[in-house]
Amino acid sequence: LIFVLLGGGCYGIYVALDFMNIKIPFVSDYFEPQISDPAGNLKIDMLDVDSAFVKNAKAGKLFAIIGKIKNGYSDDRSFIRVTGKLYTKGKILVQKKTVFCGNVLSDIELSNLELAAIKKRLLNRLGDNKSNIRVKPGQELPFMIVFANLPGNLEEFATEAEGSVPG
């Protein structure tokens, strides 16, 4: 009976500490299986995702997806990437683009820059003002994905965290 009470008390303490996100070395590893996350995308959360059509002076109609990511890891992350996908009727994937977070263009820039310049800005792995380096746990970072040459029967879009690296 004493062992049962002692074991139950230890388990209760472990559950309480785990709820408060306090990790006990070796013990926490025993109860929680290690999940493989080589891409570094499992704990990057997408927030406030929205979209808009923009008229560009040189390329015509563009489709911009804007939003934020949140670092859900317990350590700093760098070079966070997100992917946007465009689908036509019947859920057929027609375009896919991956960009680095921390790069956002103004409406004026979107309306006037050439596609090559827009692409170059969005593929800056450091982010504007090096914002995509050492993103702290819980920190949010904006992103923007821009598509050109849009199909006429565009129906929906999707976004997902593509990856990140520690540090």
pLDDT at 16: 72
Q: Cα–Cα distance between 103 and 157 in angstroms, integer?
A: 20
pLDDT at 30: 59
pLDDT at 91: 92
The low-confidence residues of the chain, meaning pLDDT below 50, are none
Helix (H) / strand (E) containing 162: strand 154-166
- Chain centroid, CA 166 distance in Å: 14
Q: Is the separation of the CB atoms in 113 and 104 below 8 Å?
A: no
**Which pTM was predicted?**
0.78
pLDDT at 6: 81
Residue in the block written with tokens 């704990």: 43
pLDDT at 39: 73
pLDDT at 123: 95
Q: Which amino acid is at 79?
A: F
Q: Cα–Cα distance between 102 and 123 in angstroms, integer?
A: 10
Closest by CA to 31, choosing from 19, 18, 46, 49, is: 18
